[in-house]
Structure formats: C-alpha cells, structure tokens
Amino acid sequence: MRLEITHETRYTYSAPVRESVMELWLQPLTLPMQRLVGFDIVTEPRAKMMT
C-alpha cells in the first residue's frame, strides 16, 4: 500500500516579519514495515534551509 500525506503549517503575525528561525521535524521514519519513498519541504516565500 502506498500513502501520500500532505501537511501544511501556517504562521500569521500582527506585523511584517523580516526574519525568523524555525526548527522543523516532519520527515517520516524508515522502519522495518515502512519505507520512505520521497520527501519534500516547500516554503512560501522561498527560504534557505539547512539539514
């Protein structure tokens, strides 16, 4: 069985924000009974990401 899961997190602020540091832990695990086929993170606006 193959599943596709989409998750959206949205932040809103009372004033414009120039910069923010976030930590994101959303990548599914690869386990004996579960294999990760693909994983992608998209940000709007585009942002530099480090892993």
pLDDT digits (tens, 9 = 90+) for 7-38: 898 889 999 988 888 888 888 888 999 898 98
pLDDT computed for residue 23 by the predictor = 86
Of the candidates 49, 46, 40, which has an alpha carbon nearest to the alpha carbon of residue 22? 49
Q: Is residue 28 part of a domain?
A: yes
Residue in the block written with tokens 């193959």: 2
Show the domain range for 33: 23-51
Q: Is residue 33 part of a domain?
A: yes
Q: Is residue 50 part of a domain?
A: yes
pLDDT computed for residue 13 by the predictor = 93
Query: 51 pLDDT exceeds 80?
Result: no
Q: Is residue 17 part of a domain?
A: no
Q: Is residue 32 part of a domain?
A: yes
pLDDT computed for residue 22 by the predictor = 85
Produce one character per residue of 24-39: b if its CB has 16 or more CB atoms within 10 Å, e if not.
eeeeeeeeeeeeeeee
Q: Is residue 15 part of a domain?
A: no
pLDDT computed for residue 18 by the predictor = 86
Domain count, the chain: 1
Q: Is residue 47 part of a domain?
A: yes
Query: 39 pLDDT exceeds 90?
Result: no
Q: Is residue 12 part of a domain?
A: no
pTM to 2 decimal places:
0.56
